[in-house]
Amino acid sequence: MTTKTKDPGVPAGYDPSQFPAFAVTVDVVILTISGGRLQVLLVRRGVPPFEAMWAIPGGFKRPAETLDEAAKRELAEETGVSGASLLTQFGAYGDPGRDPRMNVVTVAYFAVLREVGGIAAGTDAAAAALIPVSDALNGKIELAFDHAKILRDAVERVRVDLDLTGMAIAFVGSKFTLAELRAVYEAVWKVGFDAANFRRSVITEQGWVIPTGRRAQPGSTGGKPAELYRAGRMWRYGSPIRRSQPNGRRKGDS
């Protein structure tokens, strides 16, 4: 004898039309260090609303895709950037009126990359470029929708994660100089570190950084090329540099 299972479908008497419909979008904040400054990948909108304004890459989630799939697709379609495999959700935004077209809830992601190459605007983006975060947050560049708030939240999340996790390594890649590593903390936290003190903090017996035996390419000014390091095992547990350390000095937006 077989037992009839209960239909897991729509319950009897349930009317979805009694609830207001809304759309779901994804927005992707891509951050990198370039020229010693924290930069964000933005697109210039090619269609209304907010046509010609700069915005965070993103768009509507399709019915048959997951949020993660939508984030990766929109990033690739609008900017040409792919391989952002470390996308992390950090917030959702659904204030009434945030999108003049309709009721829209957006799920925000961020990722940090050593380099953002192959940028090319596509779909409804008229342009795509790296923009200094400070320009986007101090009003020099006005962002569409509520993207200034989303970017501000993403940057603060990265500042916290830089303090508590090994995120700094994502900015510099598999091989790096100590100056490159120091530039990450300085750009994200807006501080300046004494080079000698910074070196003592990361070159320890705990194995934060490990010499590769190789050196960086010679610079245009000559001199001995800097030594290259790789990340040690300790980055799994946090960071050798803390935001509250006294040897950092605050500096203004650059």
Q: How much is the pLDDT for 206?
A: 87
Contacts of 111 (CB under 8 A, 6+ apart): 28, 29, 30, 31, 84, 86, 87, 88
Domain final residue pick, 114, 138, 162: 162
Lowest mean pLDDT among 15-24, 149-158, 231-240: 15-24
- CATH classification at residue 146: 3.90.79.10
Per residue in 81-109, pLDDT tens?
A: 876 667 999 999 999 999 999 999 999 99
Domain final residue pick, 111, 140, 162: 162
Range of the domain at 213: 173-250
The answer to whether 247 and 194 are in contact (CB under 8 A) is yes
Quote the number of domains for the chain: 2
Per residue in 188-231, pLDDT tens?
A: 999 999 999 999 999 988 899 999 999 988 766 667 889 999 99
Q: How much is the pLDDT for 7?
A: 57
Do both 156 and 31 map to the same domain?
Answer: yes
In a domain, 141, yes or no: yes
Do both 136 and 33 map to the same domain?
Answer: yes
Q: How much is the pLDDT for 222?
A: 65
- Residue 254 — pLDDT band, cuts 50, 70, 90? very low
Do both 180 and 116 map to the same domain?
Answer: no
- Residue 253 — pLDDT band, cuts 50, 70, 90? very low
Distance of CA 54 to the CA centre of its chain: 16
Distance between CA atoms of residues 174 and 231, nearest Å: 7
Q: How much is the pLDDT for 93?
A: 98
Do both 151 and 181 map to the same domain?
Answer: no
Do both 38 and 146 map to the same domain?
Answer: yes
In a domain, 119, yes or no: yes
pLDDT for 118 beyond 90: no
Per residue in 120-136, pLDDT tens?
A: 887 788 899 999 999 99
Do both 144 and 52 map to the same domain?
Answer: yes
pLDDT, mean over the chain? 90
Domain final residue pick, 101, 132, 162: 162
Do both 97 and 116 map to the same domain?
Answer: yes
- Residue 3 — pLDDT band, cuts 50, 70, 90? low
In a domain, 230, yes or no: yes
In a domain, 36, yes or no: yes
Do both 29 and 141 map to the same domain?
Answer: yes
The answer to whether 29 and 108 are in contact (CB under 8 A) is yes
- Residue 159 — pLDDT band, cuts 50, 70, 90? very high
In a domain, 158, yes or no: yes
In a domain, 10, yes or no: no
Do both 98 and 78 map to the same domain?
Answer: yes
The percentage of the chain sitting over the pLDDT mark of 70, rounded to a whole number, equals: 90
pLDDT for 148 beyond 70: yes
In a domain, 9, yes or no: no
- CATH classification at residue 185: 1.10.10.10
Among left, alpha and beta (phi > 0; psi -120 to 50; other), residue 13 is left
**Strand, helix or coil for residue 164:** helix
- Residue 6 — pLDDT band, cuts 50, 70, 90? low
Do both 41 and 147 map to the same domain?
Answer: yes
- Residue 9 — pLDDT band, cuts 50, 70, 90? confident
Do both 212 and 108 map to the same domain?
Answer: no
Report whether the peptide linkage leading into residue 100 is cis, meaning its omega lies within 30 degrees of zero: no
In a domain, 116, yes or no: yes
Do both 156 and 185 map to the same domain?
Answer: no
